[in-house]
Chains A and B, each alone.
Chain A
């Protein structure tokens, strides 16, 4: 079933660097559990043995943004909370993805109110909007599979120093093999 079925006796496998990096990335998406309210309960349920997010390589919920690839924003984001969510997102290393889990994060949901941000896409780039109030754990797993699909299509080169180049900052290139 796994890779060993293809390798057989020879122990060789030909592939592209982009393909294998994308495969590695999508098979080990480490989520940042941004559990703000009730959606977080369903997010926790997705991690339990019944739904088992580990089947998708995402069981490592990291409580530090430095080690995360995917931010699951689970819960109502108020205007007062928005800078905090954004700060944590900014601390995550590139490349990174965002799931807006549930009606509140996607659109403000039932909170048509002055205090609630009507959709986190106003201050975060969102990859997947997940419907439900709250969404069931299997729905979250579906969103994760969609993210994996998206990551599978990426190329390694497209994330190289992207934010730094945008801001006009040039860093010395590391690990470059000298030609002569």
Chain B
């Protein structure tokens, strides 16, 4: 059976109460759903013997700036068994601290540890239950999140101190 039909069917069977929004772009499937179910869905996609999405290629985010649900977290996962790529999109609501968070999938894929740290560094999205949520690229004392739309390209003067000559 074609995986593009199989994956939605399996997801609907396993999670009847969750709404899955499907889209197909350039022959790649994207599944959009609520952030509450992220860990369960990921664990299912990895452990199901027919799917086996064992590789977490990337975790990143999108800043939509003016939209109501400002951030979307994106998971690019890959099934080595079926040679199939799948994209999971999870919108986050609001920009205040309490809403800008999502459960970590490090329990499912170890590889997502650093990818989630990078996403936290660049967008300020908090990954709950992450074992070591430190900044990935920027110095630890840096206060801003550079890939957010309000961050100026040249940075904020004085935010990264240099030693005096």
Contacts and interface: CB of A to CB of B under 8 A. Distances in A.
A125 B153 CA distance: 27
Contact of B154 (A83, A86, A114, A124): A114
B162 A114 contact: no
Nearest to B162: A123
Q: What range describes how many residues of A lie at the interface?
A: 10 to 19
B160 interface: yes
A114 B151 CA distance: 9
Contacts of A124: 165
A166 to B, nearest CB: 12
B154 to A, nearest CB: 6
Contacts of B155: 113-115
Nearest to A121: B165
B131 interface: no
Q: What secondary structure prevails in chain B residues at the interface with A?
A: loop
B153 A122 contact: no
B138 interface: yes
Nearest to A83: B163
A79 B152 CA distance: 16
A91 B146 CA distance: 33
A146 interface: no
B26 interface: no
Interface hub of A112, A123, A125 (most chain B Cβ within 10 A): A123
B67 interface: no
A80 interface: yes
B164 interface: yes
A128 interface: no
A114 B155 CA distance: 4
Contacts of B49: none
A117 B163 CA distance: 12
A80 B138 contact: yes
B16 interface: no
Contacts of B164: 123
B153 A112 contact: yes
A123 B146 contact: no
Interface of A: 79-80, 82-83, 86, 112-115, 117, 122-125
- The list of the 4 closest CB pairs from A to B, nearest first, reads A114-B155, A79-B160, A123-B162, A86-B163
